[in-house]
Amino acid sequence: MTAAGGSGQQLARRVGRLIREVPDFPLPGVLFQDIMPLLADGPTLAAVVDHIVEVHRPAGFEVVAGIEARGFLLAAPVAYAADCGVVAIRKAGKLPGPSVSASYDLEYGAAVMELQRADLGPGQRVLLVDDVLATGGGTLAAALALLESAGAVIAGVAVLVELSEFAGRDRLPVNVEALLVV
């Protein structure tokens, strides 16, 4: 496991100890990365949020976008710590009002995500936050497409954990900052 910088490496080790791997969830053959024990540890959650803000603040983001569902749990406190707003990228049919949508493939199926058009202004700089980067062709790629179709500028992408065996970052058109790479 790795992370940038000395204190980042210490934080990555803390994060790695708290993430629980759950085999065969939600389907056989999938090794689920359960971040809930990390979220339940207040001091580590605070350190993760502070780290994400510190790493991405120089990019000048104005809003944080979180991907359903566990990305919400990281995006909201990051937005709060950075004194900016948060927008939701949700599963289809969960948002009122006009939205843009994108379909994508998961490691274990397919889905559609949506973003409300009114949530972002043209040219607004967005930090996209999610919990896990696996293949890169699924949720993150769809979220990036949604944000760009809404006229946003991607200021950065932050994930808690990157599963390097899937080489997901190689499929994305932007740099991804992962706190923990396994």
Q: Are strands 109-116 and 85-91 parallel, antiparallel or unpaired?
A: antiparallel
**Distance (Å, rounded) from C-alpha 26 to C-alpha 174?**
28
> Which of 147, 151, 140, 145 has its CA nearest to residue 177?
140
Q: Which residues, in sequence order, are bridge partners of residue 63?
A: 85, 126
**Which residue numbers are catalytic?**
70, 107
**Distance (Å, rounded) from C-alpha 172 to C-alpha 96?**
29
- Residue 129 near residue 74 (C-beta atoms within 8 A): yes
